[in-house]
């Protein structure tokens, strides 16, 4: 039996910036695997390099050294357009500040990844299906009455739900969330998180989450603690028993039920 392939495998990731004559080391050799169905949390103080690592794993920022494999393919050896394809088809992003388009309503924001994927001619053939799927998602997220609203007319929690719907529209196997509740009040954050975890569990997505929130981290399968550009430790919080252990995770690397 061949070795199972992680969704993301990062090895020896380094990232530094030149600041005048000085070289600023942000990441200093990070190894990381994300498995299907896994909730992996990155924790650490501000400035430890969590977001930089997330950008590198999400194929948005090129590491100074190291490799990032997405489903077994070395992401940073791919062409620009192929990397864009991976971002569109295999990765979903949820940002702290939602990052919705102010000019588009909820449905239009949610269908954007599908629009990027599709040329003008084939779009008219697909448009109906895609919109239907977006509306179903938004309705499930409690936004049935808000479909035609632009971000300016939505609350923070509603905007983040639209952003999650956008990230999940194309059923990516990997979801990257950078402090998804960091900009929300506690109760709104809780409800958004519930929704995120529910969808992650239902779709068996590999979720890579950056947070400062200890309570949130406790609900993840693994927590990687970062400090000064390194992973200094890993913990496996006691989890509610109902979650299934991802079947492809090798022993010793997989979360415990």
Partner 1 sequence: MYRLFLAARYIRMRPINWIGTLSIFVAVGALILILAIMSGFLEHSREHLRGHLADVTIAPSFDIPMNLEGAYPPRRPEPLLAAVRGEEKVRAAAAQMLWYGMLVPPRSEAVFSDRETMDMVMVSFVGIDLPDEYGVTQLREDLGRPVQFGSRDQRPDNLDDPFAYPAEYKPDPDQRPLDTILMGERQAAKWNLRKGDTLELATATIDQESGSFGQAANITVVLAGTYRSTFNELDLSRIYMRREALGDWLGRPGEFSQVALRLEDYEQDAKASVPRVREDLIERGLLHKPREHGASFAWEVQTWEQSRKAMLSAIENERALLGIMLGLVLLVAGFGVFAITSMMVTEKRRDIGILSALGATPGGILTLFLSIGGLEALLGIVCGIGTGVLAALKINEFEQWLSQTLGYQIFDRSVYYFDHIPTRIEYGGIVGIAVAAMLTALLSAAIPAIRAALLNPVDALRYE
Q: Which two tokens stand for residue 232?
A: 């200094």
* Beta carbon of residue 76, minimum distance to partner 1 (angstroms, whole number): 14
* Beta carbon of residue 108, minimum distance to partner 1 (angstroms, whole number): 8
Report the residue number, 97 or 144, with the smaller CB distance to partner 1: 97
* Beta carbon of residue 190, minimum distance to partner 1 (angstroms, whole number): 26
* Beta carbon of residue 201, minimum distance to partner 1 (angstroms, whole number): 24
Q: Contact residues for partner 1 (CB under 8 A)?
A: 55, 58, 60-61, 80-81, 84-89, 93, 95, 97, 99, 101-104, 112-113, 115-120, 123, 166
Report the residue number, 85 or 197, with the smaller CB distance to partner 1: 85
Residue corresponding to tokens 């509603």:
158
Report the residue number, 99 or 243, with the smaller CB distance to partner 1: 99
* Beta carbon of residue 37, minimum distance to partner 1 (angstroms, whole number): 23
Burial class (CB in 10 A: 0-12, 13-18, 19+), 102: exposed
Report the residue number, 72 or 120, with the smaller CB distance to partner 1: 120
Query: Measured between alpha carbons, how far is 30 from 8 in angstroms, rounded to an integer?
Result: 13
Report the residue number, 60 or 65, with the smaller CB distance to partner 1: 60
Query: Measured between alpha carbons, how far is 17 from 171 in angstroms, rounded to an integer?
Result: 34
Report the residue number, 60 or 232, with the smaller CB distance to partner 1: 60
Q: Which two tokens stand for residue 39?
A: 């909730």
* Beta carbon of residue 237, minimum distance to partner 1 (angstroms, whole number): 29
């Amino acid at each position: 039996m061949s070795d199972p392939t992680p969704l993301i495998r990062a090895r020896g990731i380094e990232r530094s910036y030149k600041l005048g004559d000085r070289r600023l080391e942000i990441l200093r050799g990070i190894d990381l695997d994300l498995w299907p169905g896994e909730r992996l949390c990155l924790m650490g103080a501000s400035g430890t390099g969590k977001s930089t690592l997330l950008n590198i794993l999400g194929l948005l920022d090129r590491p100074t050294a190291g490799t990032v494999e997405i489903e077994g393919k070395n992401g940073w050896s791919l062409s620009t357009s192929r990397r864009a394809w991976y971002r569109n088809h295999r990765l979903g992003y949820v940002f702290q500040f939602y990052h919705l388009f102010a000019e588009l309503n909820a449905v239009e924001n949610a269908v954007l990844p599908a629009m990027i994927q599709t040329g003008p001619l084939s779009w008219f053939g697909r448009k109906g299906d895609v919109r239907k799927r977006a509306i179903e998602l938004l309705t499930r997220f409690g936004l049935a009455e808000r479909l035609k609203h632009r971000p300016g007319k939505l609350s923070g929690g509603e905007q983040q739900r639209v952003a999650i719907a956008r990230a999940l529209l194309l059923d990516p196997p990997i979801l990257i969330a950078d402090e998804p509740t960091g900009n929300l009040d506690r109760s709104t954050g809780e409800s958004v998180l519930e929704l995120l975890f529910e969808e992650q569990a239902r779709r068996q997505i590999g979720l890579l989450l950056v947070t400062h929130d200890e309570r949130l981290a406790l609900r993840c399968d693994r927590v990687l603690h970062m400090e000064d550009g390194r992973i200094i430790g890993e913990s496996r919080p006691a989890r509610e028993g109902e979650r299934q252990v991802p079947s492809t995770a090798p022993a010793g690397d997989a979360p415990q039920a």
